[in-house]
Amino acid sequence: MTPRFSVWGVTGLPEIEPNHDLVALIADAIAAQAKTDPDLALQSGDILVVTSKIVSKSEGMQVPAADREKAIAADTVRIVAERVHPGGTFRIVETRQGLVMAAAGIDMSNVPEGTALRLPADPDASARALCAGLRDRLGVEIGIIVTDTIGRAWRVGQTDMAIGAAGIQLTDDLRGANDANGRPLHVTQAVVADEIAGAADLVKGKTTGIPVAVVRGLDRFVTDLDAPGARTLARTGDDDMFRFGSAEAYRLGYEAAMAEIKAKRKQRQE
Amino acid sequence: MTPRFSVWGVTGLPEIEPNHDLVALIADAIAAQAKTDPDLALQSGDILVVTSKIVSKSEGMQVPAADREKAIAADTVRIVAERVHPGGTFRIVETRQGLVMAAAGIDMSNVPEGTALRLPADPDASARALCAGLRDRLGVEIGIIVTDTIGRAWRVGQTDMAIGAAGIQLTDDLRGANDANGRPLHVTQAVVADEIAGAADLVKGKTTGIPVAVVRGLDRFVTDLDAPGARTLARTGDDDMFRFGSAEAYRLGYEAAMAEIKAKRKQRQE
């Protein structure tokens, strides 16, 4: 038995604006595609991968481009690392969604001239609403992943990752399972939600205006609507060994030592 | 026109041992699969995604389990971050392959009892040999990605990434391109090689003994055999804002301040 899956782009979606009904628009676009190829109608077990950009647009997360810096500050929980360059300051921050990324995910491409776009306030809630709406409307048990394009430490470029999810088992947790030789696999927890998000990017693309993809054949990861969301994929607490950039952490250590010396001197003088 | 691709696992490969001819074994396994389903025969434009584990095994990278620590040290260029826990020390290092990962990628699952397995010494060279061998043998222009399972900063778990590649355009470089509205996309460089590696993991899996997958429909990324390899995806130089873990960088800063104070005191005493 050959394990396999396929991925395709949903074409024909209009430019999304505030208060557009994404459930209806996505369902209609898929129905139109299915008219020419019946295989493209949604089935139970399909996973719909939706670019966060259209979710943000339908949720009215546009801000004037002039307010971009203010929006970044509003969506930033803390600054992780920054670097000043001639054109301004490049900042990697932890966002209120629990993501660590450049500029709090606020984007100025694929948005109307003069505007910038914030991430959905709660991408897991957005995913749940989409998932519930499409399941109801079409009578099929599908899963939803909401994605954004995110850079990684130690690698060039970006890949798409899951920032919101509903009806999906996010990881294939192999901790405690056995390998093909029957020996225990210790630390492997494959983040299938990120792997699916990346796969969908290969048909969505950023220059083609295709913001939604369907993944068929990974039914085993489709589950209850109230399964844990993508927020649980964030590692930003005590486990995070890269809470600050190297330059920032170095400076904190340097300043801590200087403060310690100063306090000791003061104590001796008293 | 609906953009689409599909991914399937290559079944029936034997347990790989040193000096096994991977080109022949993979070609034979695919030919056997194609007997029951002719669509599964390799075609020009297909991308073969190969788990580094079987490449390492065929290249004789096994070491006795007792020599695991020695092997980690040998494959480590520098320690990025470490954390001591009751069972030992967890180390994230930069490997001689330019990867930043736990334990220099040395693995003890899916290997025979009593052994550990190092990464291929030069995964890009391994990929080139496989790619050239399969192109010659089968007369089809395919691409090769060699993968390993790697953790990320700020995210739980792991995903598969490209650690070696041949005949593949690794990134979809959109810097300078326009978005769907005709406005310039500034910083987007989608690392399709990592997205393809992750997609393939969804059919390969670590418990099923399927170490090779075929991706069909992404012909546009298949290119000359001598295209830049996956080593170029590493960002480990001056651009790396996370050269050290936060605790390590903090300590370096603290120690630098203390050394500075000590030097000043000494100067005053002289």
Task: Flag whether B164 is in a domain.
Answer: yes
pLDDT confidence of residue B183: 62
What is residue B234's three-state secondary structure? strand
Tokens 């395709």 locate to: A8
Task: Flag whether B96 is in a domain.
Answer: yes
Task: Flag whether B248 is in a domain.
Answer: yes
- Domain boundary at B71, B97, B113, which? B113
Mean pLDDT of chain A: 93
Distance of residue A9 Cα from the nearest chain B Cα, in angstroms: 6
Q: What is the pLDDT of residues A194-203, one digit of tens each?
A: 999 999 999 9
What is residue B150's three-state secondary structure? strand
ipTM of the complex: 0.95
Query: Residue A92: its chain B contacts at CB < 8 A?
Result: 241
- Is B159 found in the same domain as B145? yes
Distance of residue B56 Cα from the nearest chain A Cα, in angstroms: 17
Query: Residue A208: its chain B contacts at CB < 8 A?
Result: 3, 180
Distance of residue A125 Cα from the nearest chain B Cα, in angstroms: 20
- Is B137 found in the same domain as B37? yes
Q: Is there a contact between A241 and B218 if contact means CB atoms under 8 Å apart?
A: no
Which secondary structure element, helix H or strand E, spans residue A268, and what is its range?
A: helix A246-269
**Angle between the A246-269 and B246-269 helix axes, to the nearest 10 degrees?**
40
- Is B83 found in the same domain as B45? no
pLDDT confidence of residue B88: 82
Q: What are the residue ranges in chain A where pLDDT is below 70?
A: 176, 179-187, 206-207
Query: Residue A175: its chain B contacts at CB < 8 A?
Result: none
- Is A83 found in the same domain as A201? no
Task: Flag whether B257 is in a domain.
Answer: yes
Task: Flag whether B239 is in a domain.
Answer: no
pLDDT confidence of residue B173: 78
pLDDT confidence of residue A22: 98
- Is B138 found in the same domain as B50? yes
pLDDT confidence of residue A162: 98
Q: CA A158 → CA B146, B187, B201, distances in Å?
A: 19, 9, 19
Q: Do B202 and A169 touch, CB atoms closer than 8 A?
A: no
CA distance B127 to A12: 39
Q: Is there a contact between B241 and A92 if contact means CB atoms under 8 Å apart?
A: yes
Count of domains for chain B: 3
- Domain boundary at A113, A128, A148, which? A113
Task: Flag whether A100 is in a domain.
Answer: yes
Pairing of strands A47-51, A143-151: parallel
Task: Flag whether B26 is in a domain.
Answer: yes
- Is B138 found in the same domain as B161? yes
- Is B107 found in the same domain as B218? no
One digit per residue, pLDDT tens: chain B, 270 residues? 889 999 999 999 999 999 999 999 999 999 999 999 999 999 999 999 999 999 999 999 999 999 999 999 999 999 999 998 887 888 999 999 999 999 999 988 888 889 999 999 999 999 999 999 999 999 999 999 999 999 999 999 999 999 999 999 999 977 767 766 666 655 679 999 999 999 999 999 766 789 999 999 999 999 999 999 999 999 988 889 999 999 999 999 999 999 999 999 999 988
Residue B217 CB neighbours (<10 A): 18
Tokens of residue B240, six digits:
């790396």
- Is B170 found in the same domain as B87? no
pLDDT confidence of residue B181: 66
- Is B197 found in the same domain as B148? yes
Q: Do A194 and A202 touch, CB atoms closer than 8 A?
A: no
- Is B101 found in the same domain as B29? no
Q: What residues make up the domain containing A253?
A: 244-270
- Is A77 found in the same domain as A55? no
Query: Is the pTM above the cut of 0.80?
Result: yes
Q: Is there a contact between B4 and A8 if contact means CB atoms under 8 Å apart?
A: yes
Query: Residue B214: its chain A contacts at CB < 8 A?
Result: none
Task: Flag whether A239 is in a domain.
Answer: no
Looking up residue B57, the CATH number of its domain turns out to be 3.30.1330.100
- Is B41 found in the same domain as B171? yes
pLDDT confidence of residue B187: 61
